[in-house]
Amino acid sequence: MDVRSGAYVMQRVLASKAGMSTELATRYLDDGSEQTAILKTFDRPLFNEVLWRRYAMIDNPHLPKVLDVFEREDKVSVALEYVPGEDLHDYVARKGRLEVHEAARILSDLCEADAALAAARIVHRDIKPSNVILSFDGASLIDPGIARIAGEGEPKRHDTIILGSLGYASPEQVGYAETTAQSDVFSLGRVLGFMLCAISPTERSYHELLHDPLMVPTPIAALVDRCCALEPSSRPMGATQLQAELVQALRASETSGGGTSQGWTAPSRQPSVDAPPNPLRPSTMRPAQASTGKSLPPTIGVQPPTHTTHRGAAWAVAIDALGFGMLFCIEGFFGPSQSLPLWGNIIYGLSMGILGNFAAGYEIVSCLLLRGGYERDPAPRTRCAKRVALWWGVCFGILMATSGLARITV
C-alpha cells in the first residue's frame, strides 16, 4: 500500500460520523490529469491497517480499488476509486420494482463482490441499496467503512454494537453474535427483497408483498426468507452458495410457471442504466457514494394490497386499561391507603393504572394482532418490548418517587 504521487483536493463531504468521514475529492496527478476519488478518513484508533491491506489486494470489477493511503495529523485516509453511476436506492425509486431477471443480475454482481471479500476473510457489514452503484460495467459494492476481518483476535460473543443500517443489518450486528460471511448474506437477501418489492424491509407491507406470488415467484421469496433467517446457520454459507441457490430458484420459478428465468445463467454485466452523473457538476451532484439514510415512500411502482390491521382490538384493550386506571383513582379517593396521603393514592392510579396500562396494553395487543410477517422479523417485537418497558419503567419511577415524597411529608 505505497503512497502514490498526486495531491487530493476535497470537493464535498458526503457523510460524517464519530471517528469517520467520507469525502468526494479530486486527485491532481503529476502529468496534469485529474481523477475523482472517494476519501474514507478514520481516526487513527479506528483504522484497521490489516483489513485495508487485504482489501487493497482484492482485484474484482465489482469493488472499488484502493488508490492511496496517507496520514493527516492524527487521521488516516484511504483514497478509493470513484464508481460513477446511480445508486440502487435511487434507481428503484425512479423505476419502481425490478423484474426478477434484472434483480438477479444485480444480485449476482453483488455476490461476486462479497465472495471476493469473503475470500480475504472480510465482512462488509453495510450492504444496502445506497451502497450499490449501477453503471455500464454492472453493479459495484462500495463503502467498506465498517468492514471487519472475520474471526479477528480472540473469540468473543459479539463484535458489533448497532452498526449497519436498519432493515439490512443482520441480527448479529446489534450485539447478538459475531458477524461472519453469513451476516452479509442476510443483507444481500434484504437487498433482493427491496429490489423485488420496491419498499424498505422496515415497511409494514414488505413481507406481504414479498410473499404475493403474483409479484414475486414463490421460490425467489423462499430464497429471501432463507437468506434472512435469524439463525446464521440456516442461511446459505456465503455469497457463492447464495449465487448458486439463486440460479436454482430462478429455474424452479420457470418450472412452476413463473416464466421469469428461461435460459438464465449468472451474468457478468448489468443491464444498461442512464449515463453516470458528473460528481463535480453542481446541477448533477449526488452523494451516491455515501450512506444517506433516506427512506423510500411506502409504495414505489406498485400498490400494496389493503389488509386489516386489527388496531380496533388494541384500542379496546387500551381503553379497558384506562378504565381500570380510573378505578384505581376512585379507590384512592374513597378508600385511600393508610400509608399514603390522598394525593399519593391519586397519583398512584394515574401513573400505574392510566399511563402505564393504557400505553403498555396498546403496544402489547398491537404487536400480537398486527399482520406483517413478525415471525420472520424481530424488529416489531423488539420495539414493542422496549416501549412497554419504557412506559412501565417511567410509571414505576413516578410511583416510587411519589411514595417516597408522600412518606417524607406525612
Q: Is residue 214 part of a domain?
A: yes
DSSP 6-51: -EEEEEEEEEEETTEEEEEEEEE-TTS-EEEEEEEEEEGGG--HHH
Q: Is residue 186 part of a domain?
A: yes
Q: What is the pLDDT of residues 112-139, one digit of tens each?
A: 999 999 999 999 999 999 999 999 889 9
The strand pair at 34-43 and 75-81 is best described as antiparallel
Q: Is residue 283 part of a domain?
A: no
Is 172 found in the same domain as 113? Answer: yes
265: three-class secondary structure by DSSP: coil
Q: Is residue 270 part of a domain?
A: no
Q: What is the pLDDT of residues 164-208, one digit of tens each?
A: 678 898 988 876 678 899 999 999 999 999 999 999 999 989 999
Task: Look at residue 339 in the predicted model and tell me its pLDDT.
Answer: 59
Is 110 found in the same domain as 170? Answer: yes
Q: What is the pLDDT of residues 54-65, one digit of tens each?
A: 999 999 999 999
Name the residue with cell 384505581: 328
135, three cell numbers: 453503471
> d(Cα 350, Cα 261) in Å, to the nearest integer?
61
Task: Look at residue 164 in the predicted model and tell me its pLDDT.
Answer: 65
**Number of structural domains, the chain?**
3
pTM, to two decimals: 0.64
The strand pair at 122-123 and 148-149 is best described as antiparallel
pLDDT class for 402, splitting at 50, 70, 90? low
> d(Cα 160, Cα 170) in Å, to the nearest integer?
11
Is 97 found in the same domain as 65? Answer: no
* 8 Å CB contact between 104 and 246: yes
> d(Cα 250, Cα 253) in Å, to the nearest integer?
5
Quote the Cα angle for 167-170-176, to 5°: 125
Q: Which of 5, 65, 68 is nearest to 41 (CA)?
A: 68
Could you report how far apart the first and last alpha carbons of the chain are, in Å? Answer: 74
The strand ranges marked E within 335-409 are none
Question: Residue 21 maps to which CATH number?
Answer: 3.30.200.20
Lowest mean pLDDT among 47-56, 116-125, 291-300, 373-382: 291-300
Is 25 found in the same domain as 149? Answer: no
Amino acid at 134: L
Is 390 found in the same domain as 329? Answer: yes
Lowest mean pLDDT among 96-105, 157-166, 294-303, 330-339: 294-303
pLDDT class for 274, splitting at 50, 70, 90? very low
Say whether pLDDT at 291 is over 60. Answer: no
- Structural domain boundaries, residue 24: 7-81
Question: Residue 182 maps to which CATH number?
Answer: 1.10.510.10
**Phi and psi at residue 150, to the nearest 5°:** -65, 130
Neighbour-count burial of 81, counting CB atoms closer than 10 A to its CB (0-12 exposed, 13-18 middle, 19+ buried): middle
Task: Count CB atoms within 10 A of the CB of residue 8.
Answer: 19
Is 115 found in the same domain as 26? Answer: no
> d(Cα 371, Cα 209) in Å, to the nearest integer?
12
Residues in the chain: 410
User: Which of these three, 55, 81, 107, is where a domain ends?
Assistant: 81
Is 108 found in the same domain as 61? Answer: no
Beta bridge partners of 127: none
Is 251 found in the same domain as 165? Answer: yes
Q: Is residue 378 part of a domain?
A: yes
Q: Is residue 382 part of a domain?
A: yes
Q: Is residue 332 part of a domain?
A: yes
Is 231 found in the same domain as 102? Answer: yes
> d(Cα 334, Cα 342) in Å, to the nearest integer?
9
Task: Count CB atoms within 10 A of the CB of residue 53.
Answer: 13
Task: Look at residue 89 in the predicted model and tell me its pLDDT.
Answer: 95
Quote the Cα angle for 288-291-294, to 5°: 90
> d(Cα 274, Cα 292) in Å, to the nearest integer?
21
Average pLDDT over the chain reads: 76
